[in-house]
């Protein structure tokens, strides 16, 4: 009987270690994916950005997604509409656009990312150049395939 208890205890311990290692691997993968997403977010708004950069950025999103700009009450949930807006922004004269990650906090299927944006842009529909530095906190919820199903942007 003691041998059976010892065997069960060992098997249970191995199961816990394997499950924990899988969670750590998933968390590391989502951390890498989060960093790659922020890099793609920045890359789509550079002086030499192209439609390929827009498509790469959009590849991080699930087909059924929601992108919310909380401060402005704007919600986008259609990739065609999303892409059109991003392609329109390619007409902007971008002098520079830098995005730095200030902090990342990971959950089971979510990342909270604090970023800083420093940009100088002349929007195609305006006559003036806009230069700004701002912060943003993003809540990025991933689906079971590691794609973004819900992005919440909290602007300063």
pLDDT tens, position by position, 47-97:
999 999 999 999 999 999 999 999 999 999 999 999 999 999 999 999 999
Residue 1 confidence (pLDDT): 59
CB crowding 100-114: b at 16 or more within 10 Å, else e:
eeeebebeeeebbbe
DSSP 60-89: TEEEEEEEEEGGGTEEE--HHHHHHHHHHH
Q: Is the pLDDT of residue 27 over 70?
A: no
Could you tell me what percent of the chain has a pLDDT over 90?
Answer: 80
Sign of the dihedral through C-alpha 127, 133, 135, 140? positive
Cα–Cα dist 41/114, whole Å: 13
Strand partners, 117: 99, 134
Which residue, among 24, 65, 58, has the nearest Cα to 43 in the 3D structure? 58
- Confidence class for position 18, pLDDT limits 50, 70, 90: very low
Q: Which residue has the higher pLDDT, 86 or 13?
A: 86
Cα–Cα dist 117/97, whole Å: 7
Please write the tens of the pLDDT for every residue from 120-156: 999 999 999 999 999 999 999 999 999 999 999 999 8
**Residue pair 15/31 in contact by the 8 Å Cβ criterion:** no
To the nearest whole number, what is the mean pLDDT of the chain?
A: 88
- Confidence class for position 11, pLDDT limits 50, 70, 90: very low
**Residue pair 65/148 in contact by the 8 Å Cβ criterion:** yes
Indicate whether this model's pTM tops 0.85.
Answer: no
Q: What is the mean pLDDT of residues 104-114?
A: 96
Cα–Cα dist 20/117, whole Å: 35
- Confidence class for position 9, pLDDT limits 50, 70, 90: low
Residue 82 confidence (pLDDT): 96
Residue 6 confidence (pLDDT): 52
Residue 156 confidence (pLDDT): 84
């Amino acid at each position: 009987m003691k041998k059976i208890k010892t065997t069960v205890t060992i098997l249970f311990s191995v199961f816990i270690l394997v499950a924990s290692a899988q969670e750590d691997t998933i968390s590391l993968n989502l951390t890498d994916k989060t960093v790659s997403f922020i890099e793609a977010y920045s890359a789509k708004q550079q002086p030499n950005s192209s439609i390929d950069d827009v498509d790469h950025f959009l590849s991080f999103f699930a087909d059924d997604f929601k992108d919310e700009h909380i401060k402005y009450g704007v919600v986008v949930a259609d990739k065609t509409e999303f892409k059109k807006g991003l392609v329109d922004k390619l007409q902007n004269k971008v002098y520079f656009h830098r995005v730095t990650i200030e902090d990342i906090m990971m959950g089971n299927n979510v990342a909270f990312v604090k970023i800083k944006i420093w940009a100088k842009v002349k929007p195609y529909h305006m006559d003036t150049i806009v230069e700004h530095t701002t912060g943003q906190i993003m809540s990025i919820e991933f689906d079971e395939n590691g794609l973004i199903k819900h992005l919440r942007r909290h602007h300063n």
